[in-house]
Amino acid sequence: MNGIKLLNYKVGALQTNCYILSKGSNALIFDAGDSAEFILEKILELKLKPLAIFATHGHFDHVMAVGEIQLSFDIPFYISKEDLFLLERAKKTAEFFLKTKQAYIKPKNIKDLKDGKLKVGPFTFEVIGTPGHTPGSTCFKFEDFILTGDTLFKGAVGRYDFSYSSKKDLIQSINRLYKLSGDTVVYPGHEDVTTIGHEKKTPMI
């Protein structure tokens, strides 16, 4: 992993995979879906310095903890501008699906994600736009692994039955991911780890 340590914590009612990537004392947080206090405890426990938070997409179960984390660490939040509308409705959506009141602090210092190489501190990785599940779904490709959010899972792809989803776009996005090396490890937004090669063997859409 080229000196990168990856930690995975399942957070929130929907058990979203929150990933903390560290290199030395520097860290990046991906999909801070919920349980901000828990994520902050891990950051402090590991004596890490978070540099930024990233979201694979704007669904509430991937962003609910962002604003609260930013109260403790003044760091930017990266998400595709195509999914900003989902941030605006995150609290209401969470309450609808979870059937309970939800605390939600809106993220600040938001930066748009664009395809291509991105360097943040000692981390360099590729941003890959993968619309379909949501208009702004994004994957993050490191040297030998990729964070795919809800675009690609082990044995499944993301839902495309929302009013803003697109089956056509999702198919194109999956085909784009399938061009990666079969050895590429896939860390999805939910459930278990897989590889690109394993998923290519079983067409799912």
Contact by Cβ (8 Å): 127, 112: no
Query: Which residue type does 21 have?
Result: L
User: Please, which pLDDT band fits residue 134 given cuts at 50, 70 and 90?
Assistant: very high
| Domain 5-200 CATH class label | alpha beta
What mean pLDDT is predicted for residues 141-157? 97
Contact by Cβ (8 Å): 177, 151: yes
Cα–Cα distance for residue pair 175/195, rounded to 1 Å: 14
pLDDT above 70: percentage of residues in the chain = 100
Q: What is the pLDDT of residues 184-203, one digit of tens each?
A: 999 999 999 999 999 999 86
Where do the structural domains in the chain lie, given as residue ranges? 5-200
What mean pLDDT is predicted for residues 23-50? 97
Query: Which residue type does 128 have?
Result: I
Whether the predicted pLDDT of 28 surpasses 90: yes
Whether the predicted pLDDT of 23 surpasses 90: yes
Burial 74-83 (b: 16+ CB within 10 A, else e): ebebbbbebb
